[in-house]
Structure 1
Amino acid sequence: MTGLCIDDHRVISPRVWRAILVNDKHRNDIYGDNPHGDSASTPAIPAATVVLLRESKTGIETLMLHRTSKVSFGGMWVFPGGRIDPEDHEGTDSELGAAYHAAARETLEETKLSVDPDAFAYFAHWTPPPGTPKRYSTYFFASQLPNETSIEVDGEEIQGHAWMSPSRALKRHAAGEIDLAPPTWVTLYQLSRHAPLSSLMKRLTEQTVRIYETHITTDEDGTRIALWSGDAGYESMDPNAPGSRHRLLMQPGGFTFEHSDLDY
């Protein structure tokens, strides 16, 4: 199938094998046990994140932050960002404008890195289903950084950082070495398909903003599936609906991404 990406399982950690053997859901399935809850009872919290990119001698790298265990999405590797605070609305009358400010502010707080929101490319927006325990409606931006950039993590929310090539991050996730939430994984997948950095930034700047309002369903084998607009089963929640595919299969042993009609 066009647009099929399966996690590389050549090296699998013991904890991934344990998940496979007990037929548990994937360790990074963040969507909870009741993904069809009432959106009125679990309103999404506005948030923003920025994918910071640089061109190294070996290719494109993105800044990944390792969250501490005491905060939301503890232990995950993420892009800089966080919720939109009241102060982020100063000077703007739109939530999108506040999101630009929030992404820059959170980056400064988490990494001591000052970035210019005017240089951000807004390329995606992610909203999880209503029953998700930690439900953030997140604006995704991207920005290019100089090759030599000093990072100093705060030590409170963030315990470490690394510059990783997108493909390397995906391989480490497949091996069970790092944890990535589905929006982060799909973003890294898109980043991994473009080079050099100038071409990637051109793509992210010019593409229509992708809206991911996630639906969750389960196939006959019990595999949980995240569906997005463009998938034949998106509205009906039928994983077997014939037609186009735009989905992430979250098997216990790894993620499989299908996008038959969408160019990533």
Structure 2
Amino acid sequence: MASTHDLEVPPTLREHALGWLATPASEREIAPARLASTVLLLRESDSGTEVFMQRRASSMKFAPSMWVFPGGGVDPRDEAPGVPWAGPSPADWGRLLAIPEATAQAVVIAAVREVFEECGVLLAGRSADDEVLDVTADEWQADRAAVLDRSLPFGELLERRGLLLRSDLLALQDHWITPEMEPRRYDTWFFSARLPDRQVADDRTSEAAEAVWRLPTDVLDEARAGTARVLPPTLVQLRRVASWPDLNPATTSREGLHAVMPVPVEDGERLLLRAHLND
């Protein structure tokens, strides 16, 4: 089921959006959308459900200074066969995402890899019902740095450590594609995952100026007040999490999703991004 929503165009994109609308459709240059994965890492606190978020460094080419979830682009090596695996298979994920099996595998591996790289949380275990308990030791951090600089393939890390990627710890939440007007575009799958017991999410990424646990309602309030910069798909995910009575929805994949790609529209003096959301 889908519904149409109008989202405000961020002030930083207003002039760009106006220029796009003024350009004849036949003359518009549309950049390809890079496949990507993003993970809403969640935990329960005394104040309610919290999500781990990062405020991107102002020097970043994409979404500078924006509050985002851990994630990033799919790496070609994420399609490498033979990655130790537990939970729904790549074929199962392919059916859920309605994409080829190899692509689905890459999307899931990218989600798990990016969470490990960006906040030091590893969604893996020695068996299908086991979770890694602590990856803060120096040798783990050395492996993390090696995965980040691509000197150690993620699948090789799992094999060497005798671990299985726990794809069942992920749940599909949404699918968004960056508007065609943007020069840097992503085809992004949004997943949710509960923080494994005894693991710690940290701020050791160079891509973020700040990385902390946030209450979704606080981020939404700050976005409305203009004191926090948040992209439309991030706002939609935050609103969804804020509506959950508990963390159970975070462990259940949403089925039948379509790709949400906002388009700029002029409504009188207002400039909007119109999107058909997955309700």
TM-score where L is the length of structure 1 = 0.70
* Mapped partners of 2:260, 2:52: distance in 1: 23
Q: 1:206 to 1:156 in 2, by over 3 A?
A: closer
Q: Which amino acid aligns with 2:187?
A: S
Give 1:146 shift.
Answer: 4.0
2:67 is equivalent to residue 77 of structure 1: yes
Describe the SS at the equivalent of 2:50: strand
Counterpart of 2:77 (choices 87, 90, 93) is 87
Q: 1:37 to 1:175 in 2, by over 3 A?
A: farther
Counterpart of 1:165 (choices 202, 207, 215) is 215
CA offsets 1:101-123 (integer angstroms, 9 cap, x no match): 11111111111221243311112
RMSD between superposed Cα atoms in Å: 3.1
CA contact (8 A) 1:218 1:224 kept: yes
Counterpart of 2:267 (choices 201, 210, 219) is 219
Aligned residues: percent identity? 28
2:236 is equivalent to residue 228 of structure 1: no
- In structure 1, the gaps of 5 or more residues are 8-23, 230-245, 247-261
Q: 1:125 to 1:175 in 2, by over 3 A?
A: same
Q: 1:131 to 1:82 in 2, by over 3 A?
A: same
User: Which structure has greater helix proportion?
Assistant: 2
CA contact (8 A) 1:84 1:98 kept: yes
Describe the SS at the equivalent of 2:11: coil
Describe the SS at the equivalent of 1:123: strand
CA contact (8 A) 1:37 1:131 kept: no
* Mapped partners of 2:44, 2:258: distance in 1: 24
TM-score where L is the length of structure 2 = 0.66
CA contact (8 A) 2:171 2:191 kept: yes
Counterpart of 1:132 (choices 153, 168, 182) is 182
CA contact (8 A) 1:219 1:225 kept: yes
- In structure 2, the gaps of 5 or more residues are 82-89, 91-100, 124-165
Describe the SS at the equivalent of 2:77: helix
Q: 1:139 to 1:39 in 2, by over 3 A?
A: farther
Q: 1:38 to 1:124 in 2, by over 3 A?
A: farther
Q: Corresponding residue for 1:108?
A: 116
CA offsets 1:117-143 (integer angstroms, 9 cap, x no match): 331111211012222122111111111
